[in-house]
Amino acid sequence: MVLIHGNLSSSLIWEDLMPRVPEDFDVVAPDLRGFGGSGRAPVDATKGLGDFSADLLELLQSLRYDFYVLVGHSMGGGIALQMLLEAPRGVRVEKVVLVDPVSPYGFGGTKDEHGTPCYSDYAGSGAGLVAKYNPDFVRLLKARYTGVDHPSAPANVAKAFFADDYVISEGLMGKLLEMLFSTEVGEDNYPGDYVESPNWPYVAPGSRGVLNAISPKYLRLRGVLDLASKPPVLWVHGTKDLIVSDSSPLDVAVLGLAGYIPGYPGPDKFPPQPMVGQIRAFLDEYVSKGGTYERVLIEGAGHTPFIEKPEEFTRKLVDFIY
């Protein structure tokens, strides 16, 4: 079983899940490049999530197991799908678990369940959403700031991973900050570079870094739908997930609607991204082309159901992998 973490995270996020995985499975939880204790290689965003996928596939080739179960959280879900596209002979993926995954059409800049871009330059996605509109977070992240008195403090941002009524223990917050502070900050990694755009919100993706890699300009996962061999998919979604949502408060369109970013062109031109609807439509098409998937809702969980509702999550995971 390969546990693939998401953005602003590391293998530490899986620490409590790993002992609950049945002993029939060996478990590996790597740190992606630029996160945790991994190397600081740059991310070529023009490959989508290809750099991360290539790193992991090289690891799996060296491990030489007969088959693998991929469990991808958030951006890690997109990486798991990218791995299906690029897996070489000898790397057999038996099943895939997507835990509150990024939309197959990336984050930001699309307006319907088919991933249609709002603008041809994919304005409204990529690193500029953070680098231009929340530079304090980047600054405080780089400074390893542990306080909570600034709205963009990493500790406050970390709370978005959880349901609004979930009590984050001091130990868990310490672990979250350790993960956040392990992120390589800069234009080659997080958040990446950006270019100015004439289209609202006046930024478009650059070609480097993590947030550009999940821009719909570069993320191309529809090839998964045409694979001859389609492993069964389990899609797990927390009902209180604020990050992957059809009305995410992190979505630039939602911020525009609320008046936080001037010049919003209106929901006809730039509606909130229907992230959950995009995932559902993508997986429904997966089924229509010969695949199978099961959707599980974890009531009351946010973006991290394996932490917030560990017993329920583990039960669903075990049922699926057997």
CATH code, domain carrying 84? 3.40.50.1820
Residues 152-176 pLDDT 10s: 999 999 999 999 999 999 999 999 9
Confidence (pLDDT) at 197: 98
Total count of domains within the chain:
1
Q: What percent of the chain has pLDDT over 70?
A: 100
Query: Strand 194-196 relative to strand 203-205: parallel, antiparallel, unpaired?
Result: antiparallel
**Cα(300)–Cα(208) distance, integer angstroms:** 36
- Identify the domain containing residue 75 by its residue range: 2-321
Is the Cα torsion angle 49, 10, 236, 272 positive or negative in sign?
Answer: negative
The whole-number average pLDDT for the span 61-79 is: 97
Task: Give how far Cα 48 sits from Cα of 53, 99, 208, 242, 310, Å.
Answer: 9, 19, 10, 23, 31
Q: 197: part of which helix (H) or strand (E)?
A: none
Confidence (pLDDT) at 73: 98
Confidence (pLDDT) at 50: 98
The whole-number average pLDDT for the span 211-227 is: 98
Confidence (pLDDT) at 281: 98
pTM of the model: 0.98
Confidence (pLDDT) at 307: 98
Confidence of residue 38 (pLDDT cuts 50, 70, 90): very high
Confidence (pLDDT) at 113: 98
Confidence (pLDDT) at 261: 94
**Cα(73)–Cα(88) distance, integer angstroms:** 22
Confidence (pLDDT) at 180: 98
Confidence (pLDDT) at 219: 98
Residues 98-119 pLDDT 10s: 999 999 999 999 999 999 999 9
Confidence of residue 177 (pLDDT cuts 50, 70, 90): very high
Confidence of residue 247 (pLDDT cuts 50, 70, 90): very high
* pLDDT averaged over every residue in the chain: 97
Are 262 and 256 in contact by the 8 Å Cβ rule? The answer is no
Helix 50-63 and helix 75-86: axis angle, to 10°? Answer: 70
- From the list 122, 170, 91, the residue with the least C-alpha distance to 270 is 122
One-letter amino acid for residue 211 of the chain: L
Confidence (pLDDT) at 165: 96
